[in-house]
Amino acid sequence: MAILKAKDIRNMSKNERENKLKELKLELIKSRGKASQGGSLKTREIKKTIARLLTIK
């Protein structure tokens, strides 16, 4: 999952932003599951990207 910059988010259409938000929320759930099993922890990056999407929305 690449970090989305604010400039990139602003260039997205409303539908693209909504789809990306849904995708990131699912990825966050999966990431939390992996973290509880000792896997890699990318939740911080995903949460920040979700916050950017919601702020610009």
With cut-offs at 50, 70 and 90, classify the pLDDT of residue 2: low
pLDDT for 42 equals 82
Q: What is the Cα–Cα distance from 33 to 27, expressed in whole angstroms?
A: 10
On whether the pTM is more than 0.85, the answer is: no
- Residue extents of the structural domains in the chain: 6-56
- Per-residue model confidence as pLDDT tens digits over 7-57: 999 999 999 999 999 999 999 998 888 777 766 668 888 899 999 999 987
